[in-house]
Structure formats: structure tokens, C-alpha cells
Structure 1
Amino acid sequence: MTGFNLTASNPSTFILNGIPGLEAAHIWISVPFSTIYIISLLENFTVLFIVRKEQTLHKPMFLLLCMLALTDIGISTCVVPKALSIFWFCSKEITVDGCLTQMFFLYSAAATQSAFLVTMAFDRYVAICDPLRYATILTNTQIAKLGLVGLIRAVLFVLPVPLLLRRLPFCTNCVIPHTYCEPIAMMKMSFGDTRVNRTYTLVTSLVIIGLDLTLIGLSYGLIIRAVLRISSKKAHRKAFNTCTAHICVMLIYYMPFLFSALTHRFGQGIAAHVHILLANLYVLVPPMLNPIIYGVKTKELRDKMGKYICRM
């Protein structure tokens, strides 16, 4: 490995070590990584293509699916290409600015997706609790505005994370035991005072995830209350069926994130490669499963997909 001839407090390059302890298996690990990534790209671009082509799908719910697909593509693309270059070509070097840029776009996309999931919960609430006013409350323009608010919120909250990290002093030839740049891993590489960084990262995560989960829980609490007032069991099933896809997507998004974040901070007894694999599953699996879930559970989208598949 080449030396960098850098000052101890201002390195220009970091080393991403991949999955520590499993270096010999990197080439084999790359097979599911690349396969899942390609499948997720094909699925999400298919959703974008079908919704764009089909005029009947130009509705708020499908606009939300397109927004979800874009963040899925963004999240996986921020991580997987660099991870594969580590696995295939041992291209482990990454500039400090490149590392911080990757971190910014990854966590901005993740925070934006969380905001979109809140909007989807609100969409389901209006569809079930106030269906007669659905078309006037949730228009495509309103959904676009809510999406923009979610994006701006993500950028404003996430931007200080790399800016604060940029001010820290790092040792020369810092080795990050990860496939991508992660704030806690970078803080461990610094010999400076990271209390402000750790506090801001933790508070931001709690505020974003805590607020979003609270709003989602409130939406579903109101949905459940409205559904229980309906006497018809058939209406119960129909109402809950409209929420099934969104509930599955939420579980796939939040559970791995929370588990990975908690084990990274408090799971000192867990092996390092388990931490890293969990963190990678978080950016790999949801983007692949989300289009499948909505494709299966949403009849209009399923029918349009079937039409295009039959043409091939």
C-alpha cells in the first residue's frame, strides 16, 4: 500500500477496508451485492418508467412511489459501486472530500425517504378517513410540495454532519473498517474532541426518526380508530389491505436502520463484520424489496407491469 506523506492532522485520503475479518471472501460477497443492486435498479427504474408512461397512474399515490424509487436508487448507488470496487479491485482509497460527499448524499437520501414514508402514511389516512375529500386534499402539486419539504429538511439536518467532521484532525493513513463512510466510524479515526459531532449525530437521528415514527404512528392510530367504527368486516379487510404495502415498506426501512444504529453504538460485544454486514443490508435490501411489495399489493401498478411484460 502506498504511503501518503501527509501531515498527521490533515490527511487527504482515507482507506475503506471493506468488511473486516472477511477480506478473503470479498469476491464471493460481491456476488449477492452486485446481483441485489442490479435487480433493485431494474425494479425501481421500471416503476419510474411505467408511472411516467401511463397517464392513468399520474396520481398522488404513484407519484409517492416514484419519489420512493428515486431515494431507493440514491441510497444504494451511494454505497454499492464503491463497495464493489473494494471487493473486485481492492480500490480502497477515498479522498476525505469524497468520503464526506458520499456520507452527505447517503444520509440525505435516507432522511428524505423517511419523510416520504410519513407522507405515504398521511396519504393512507386521508384515503381511509376522508375519502370524499381525497382528490382535493392530496393533489399531485401538494405531494410534490411535501416531497420538496422533506428534501429540504433532510439537507438542512444532514449538511452539518460532514461539515463538523471536516473540522476534525485525523491521523495519516486512516483506515475505516467499513464499505462506506459512516459518521461514527470516522469519529473513531479522529484524535480530536468529537463530543459535538457525536451529540449532533445522535440528536439529529433521534429527531428525524423519532418525529417521523410519531407522525406515522399518529396516522395509523387514527386509521385504526376510523376502521373500528365500521361494522362491516369486508370494509375492515379492504381498509387494512390498502395499508399493508406501506406497513411492510416501513418495517423494512426502519427496523434494519434502528437495529444497525443501536448495535453500532451499544453492541460492543458484536463482531465487527456483523456490524458492517447489517449496515450494508440496510442500503441493499429495502431498495430491492420496495418495488416488489408495491408491485404485488397495488393492483393498478401490477396490471400495468403485466401489460408491459406481455409486450416483451
Structure 2
Amino acid sequence: MSTVNDTNFNSAVFLLTGIPGKEDAYLWISILFCLIYAILIAGNSVILIITKINPSLHEPMYIFLSMLAITDLGISIATVPTILGIYLFNSREISLDACFAQLFFIHSLQLIESSVLLLMAFDRFVAICNPLRYASILTLPRIAKMGLVCVLRGVAIIVPLPLLLKRYQYCRANVLSHSYCLHQEVMKMACSDITVNSIYGLSASLLTLGLDSLLIFFSYVMIFKTVLSVASKVESLTALKTCISHLCIVLLFYIPEISLSVIHRFGKGSSHLLQFVLGYINLLVPPLMNPIVYSMKSKHLRTRIIRLFIKVSSSPGSLTGDMGDEKPGPQPPIPS
């Protein structure tokens, strides 16, 4: 009898949630999200174009920034269909398979982004703490292998999650509290024992996001220790300025991500509005702010972005020219 009931009540779809009580304003909200996505995609695309056409930016720091931009574009592409579908077409339904696919891409790309942030911290660590070996340690072939390991790690760790979810029966209301699918929330919709998913998901988060954030913290402890040992205050400030952009991006990524994960797992009485706001901050703010933060903090990058727009406005048919003729600058950009 239990099997029959499970079969009868197993739903073929999940229901996504927009902003409760604001249905009349969905058109204006959709315009806001379209604007955010347009800025997000444009900003990260400009980073990729600038890095590609400027030989002087073919350096580890900017290559890692390009990896971050690709990851951010992937996360935005994974979430755009369901978020805009709700606010533009009031389409709340998503099939189980589509939901599992979406949560796979969201979580795997977030793990890849965490890995890239760790690589960027390692780049700053080597540049400041061991500048004489910087060029020999961070070679282009080695950077390519690091990027491949980041992708393989993210995919390998997340693949079991949707496979485990497909084994369950879903006989509840299946109304999700976000405009997209997250593993922490989808597994709670199952009417089966989700102990395996819960333990594996928590372990995966601790061994990836938790470990990455801990290693980034230790790398900055070593960086600050090295910087404080530098005699000149000017040199100390110059060295620290190269880390400000990365620190801002790390905080923008880990604080909402960890907060949302904790609330979903342990905050049973938490406000739905808090979950909702953190959910959008978690997925939209880091990809939106990453190119802006680096453009503001890196004069080297900002100058080339300005040159790109001047070049495009003066001759739209050409993106190359003087910008691509510059010789690479000295590495690392840290005073010895």
C-alpha cells in the first residue's frame, strides 16, 4: 500500500517561487533582472576579451581572473531560464530532470569558482612570499593543469548528488523557496530517507568550500606576515594593494554561500525572506561585482578596458591594434 501511495503522489514537477506578494510587480522585477544579467554578462565578457587581445595580460593573475569570469558566466546561464521564466512568463514549474540538471551545474560551478579563488590566493602568496621563483612556479602549462583539476574536482564531487536524488520518490508539495534548484532544498522534498544525501552534501561542502576558505585564510596569514616584515611602509602598502581585489571577491563569494548553506541545513525557523534574499545575493552579486571590483582596483586592467572602448567607438570593426602590441610587464608586481 505504501508503494502505491508513493507512486500516486510522486510529482513530475517542482514549483519554483518568485517574490511572494509582489506578483503585480513581476514585469518591473523582470526588467531589473534583465539589466543585472546584461551588466553581468557584459562585464565578464569584457574581462575575457581584454585578457585575450592583450599579451601584457597573459599573466597568472589575469588568467585566473579569466577563469573566474568563465565560471561566473556559466552560473548566470544556469540560472537565467528559471528566474526570468518566473518573472516574465509566470512559469513556475520545472521538471525533476531539469531541476537535477540545474542544481548540478550551479553547485559544480560554485565549487569550481571556490577552487579558482584558492588559485588566485596561491598566486598572491607566491608573488609576495617567493617573488624570485614566481615565473618558474606559475608557468602557463602548470596553470592549465590547475584549471583542469578545478573543473574535474567540481564535476566529480557534485555528480553523485543528482544521481542520488533521482532514486527518491517525491510525494510532498514540492514547492521550492527559490527561483532555481539547490540540493539542500530539493532533497528535503523527498518522502524517502535522505540521510545519505544529507551526509554526503555536508561532507562535500566541508571538504571543498570549507577547506578552500581555510587555505585562503592561511595563505593571507603568510602574506601579512611577509608584508609586515618589509621595512618600508610604502612597499608594504603596495604589496597589500595587489590583494585587496581578491579579498573583496573572496568575501562576496564565501559569506553568502556559507550563510545560505547553514540556514538551509540548520535554520529550520529562519525567515523565508532571509533565505530568499541570500539566495539571490549568493548567485547574482559575486558574478556581477567580480569584474567591477577588479576593474576598479587594477589600474593595469582599467586602462586597457578604457582603450578597448575608445578603440571600438573609433573603429568598430577592429578590436586589435596598439593594445595587442605591448610587451608583457614585469612579474610579479610586488616590490622585492
Distance 1:20 1:264, change over 3 A: farther
Q: Which residue is equivalent to 1:100?
A: 100
Q: Matched residue pairs, number?
A: 307
Larger radius of gyration: 2
| Partner of residue 154, structure 2 | 154
Contact 2:184–2:261, Cα closer than 8 Å, also in 1:
no
Further displaced range: 60-69 or 15-24: 15-24
SS in 2 for 1:174: coil
- Asked if residue 144 in structure 1 is aligned to residue 153 in structure 2, the reply is no
> In 2 relative to 1, CA 237–136 (structure 1 residues): closer, same or farther, beyond 3 Å?
same
Report SS of the residue matched to 1:74: helix
2:299 equivalent in structure 1:
299
1:12 Cα offset (Å): 2.9
In 2, are the aligned partners of 1:78 and 1:105 still within 8 Å (CA)? Answer: yes
Aligned ranges 1:33-112 → 2 under 5 Å = 33-112=33-112
CA contact (8 A) 2:104 2:159 kept: yes
Residues of 2 paired with 1:27 and 1:182: CA distance?
25
Cα distance in 2, alignment partners of residues 27 and 271 from structure 1: 25
Q: 1:160 to 1:21 in 2, by over 3 A?
A: farther
Structure 1 residues 283 and 57: CA distance shift in structure 2, 3 A: same
- Which residue matches 2:267? 267
Instruction: Provide TM-score, normalisation by structure 2.
Output: 0.87
Q: Which runs of 5+ in 1 are unaligned?
A: 1-5
1:258 Cα offset (Å)? 1.3
Deviation for aligned residue 1:294? 0.8
Normalising by structure 1, report the TM-score: 0.93
Offset, 1:65: 0.8
**CA distance in structure 2 between the partners assigned to 1:287 and 1:114 by the alignment:** 13
Which stretches of structure 1, 4 residues or more, deviate above 6 A after TM superposition? none
Matched with 1:31 is 31
How far does the alpha carbon of each residue in 1:217-272 deviate from its partner, in whole angstroms, 9 at most, with x for none? 12111111111111110111011011010000000100111122222223333321
**Contact 1:33/1:284 (8 A) holds in 2:** no
Equivalent pair of 1:51/1:58 in contact (CA under 8 Å):
yes
Residue in 2 that maps onto 1:219: 219
Q: Once the 2 structures are TM-superposed, how far is the Cα of residue 214 of structure 1 from its aligned partner?
A: 1.6
The answer for unaligned runs of 5 or more in structure 2 is: 1-5, 314-336
* 1:3 corresponds to: none
Q: Secondary structure at the match of 1:73?
A: helix
Matched-pair identity in %: 43
In 2: Cα distance, 1:281 partner to 1:29 partner = 15
Greater CA drift, 184-193 or 63-72: 184-193
**Structure 1: how far apart are the matches of 2:177 and 2:210?**
28
TM superposition shift of 1:67: 0.2
Distance in structure 2 (CA, Å) of the matches to 1:131 and 1:227: 12
